[in-house]
């Protein structure tokens, strides 16, 4: 790593505090007709900022060593982590630098989902159902399309 890059590194505890305010753990369960189970589990971690703070997203990316920066919407940009290997690193990061707000509950559900995906549980009907139930408890979100679909209700019970 160059001296320049070293200057870009942020304190890990600062990142943890910033994520407690600005970060989001999210697990989408999306319909994909050409897959075996027709539903895909898509976990992601995001930090969205106004473009004036894209520099901070880059510093977080440099410090973590993974994640992509892309436009979110309008003047907002996001640092997004989607690769399973990177998400596993991210989980270690927040185990070492714990979140302090109720967002920690979302993180723990997220971690359990990644653990189950690691065990390929998302590739069976029963495992997918369990993951969708965990995901539905995150972000105070309403029940997912997957859990509400009559297909799921019929097939997985």
Does residue number 108 form part of the binding site for a second copy (CB under 8 A)?
no
Q: Which is nearer to a second copy, 41 or 90 (CB)?
A: 90
Does residue number 59 form part of the binding site for a second copy (CB under 8 A)?
yes
CA distances from 6 to 1, 11, 59 (A): 7, 11, 10
Does residue number 20 form part of the binding site for a second copy (CB under 8 A)?
yes
CB 76 within 8 A of CB 49: yes
Q: What angle do CA 107, 109, 112 make, to 5 degrees?
A: 110
Q: Which is nearer to a second copy, 73 or 140 (CB)?
A: 140
Nearest to 46 by CA among 6, 116, 112, 106: 106
CB 131 within 8 A of CB 41: yes
Of the candidate spans 14-22, 79-87, 106-114, 122-130, the one that interacts with a second copy by CB under 8 A turns out to be: 14-22
Does residue number 79 form part of the binding site for a second copy (CB under 8 A)?
no
CB 127 within 8 A of CB 152: no
Q: 18, 26, 66, 93: which one contacts a second copy (CB under 8 A)?
A: 18
Q: Which is nearer to a second copy, 73 or 102 (CB)?
A: 102
Q: 56, 69, 134, 147: which one contacts a second copy (CB under 8 A)?
A: 56
CB 79 within 8 A of CB 66: no
Q: Which is nearer to a second copy, 16 or 72 (CB)?
A: 16
Residue identified by tokens 């703070």 is 53
Does residue number 76 form part of the binding site for a second copy (CB under 8 A)?
no
- What is residue 38's DSSP assignment? S
Q: Which is nearer to a second copy, 64 or 131 (CB)?
A: 64
Residues at the contact surface with a second copy, assessed by CB under 8 A: 10-22, 49, 52-53, 56, 59, 97, 100-102
């Amino acid at each position: 790593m160059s001296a320049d890059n070293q200057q870009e590194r942020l304190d890990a505890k600062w990142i943890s505090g910033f994520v407690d305010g600005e970060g989001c753990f999210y697990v989408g369960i999306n319909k994909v007709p050409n897959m075996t189970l027709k539903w895909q589990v898509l976990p992601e971690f995001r930090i969205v900022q106004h473009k004036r703070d894209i520099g901070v997203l880059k510093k977080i990316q440099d410090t973590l060593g993974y994640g992509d920066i892309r436009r979110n919407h309008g003047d907002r940009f996001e640092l997004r982590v989607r690769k399973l290997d990177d998400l596993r690193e991210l989980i270690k990061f927040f185990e070492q630098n714990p979140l302090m707000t109720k967002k920690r509950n979302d993180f723990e559900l997220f971690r359990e989902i990644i653990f189950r995906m690691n065990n390929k549980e998302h590739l069976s009907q029963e495992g997918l159902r369990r993951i969708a139930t965990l995901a539905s408890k995150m972000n105070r979100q309403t029940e997912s399309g997957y859990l509400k679909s009559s297909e799921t209700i019929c097939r997985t019970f």
